Amino acid sequence: MAKLALYVPLEAKAGREEEAAEFLRSALPLVEDEPGTTTWYAVRFDHNTFTIFDAFPDEAARDAHLAGKVAVALIQRAPDLFVDPPEIQTSPFDRVRVRYLVASLIVHLQ
């Protein structure tokens, strides 16, 4: 069961939106190799607004993810692709917030 989560809002630079989307798509296979990352979504809300949401069973899994290939690539590519550096928000897993986020995603994607 996931107990910790990360939430990373991202705004793509003008003209780099599709490259940002492709970068996030390319991260999925890397995350799938992380046994402690139980949930990982990269969501596009509109033309230039993205969010990464991921969840972990414990701090060790979260720390491994933050030191992993996706995090390193995000930090390296962020200056080229995104308006601001990634602001990784960490918090205890909150089911109510996650349900709200998922419901918002479903409504937005319809």
DSSP 55-87: EESSHHHHHHHHTSHHHHHHHHHHHHHBSS---
Helix (H, G, I), strand (E, B) or coil at 102: helix
Tell me: pLDDT of 103 over 70: no
Of 46, 52, 98, give the one whose Cα is nearest residue 75.
52
- pLDDT, tens digit, for every residue of 39-83? 999 999 999 999 999 999 999 999 999 999 999 999 999 999 999
Structure tokens at 98: 């996650």
* Other C-beta atoms lying within 10 Å of the C-beta of residue 71: 20
Residue 95: the pLDDT is: 53
Which CATH entry fits the domain spanning 4-109: 3.30.70.100, 3.90.76.10, 3.40.50.2000, 3.40.50.2300? 3.30.70.100
- pLDDT, tens digit, for every residue of 11-41? 999 999 999 999 999 999 999 999 999 999 9
Residue 89: the pLDDT is: 85
Distance (Å, rounded) from C-alpha 67 to C-alpha 65? 5
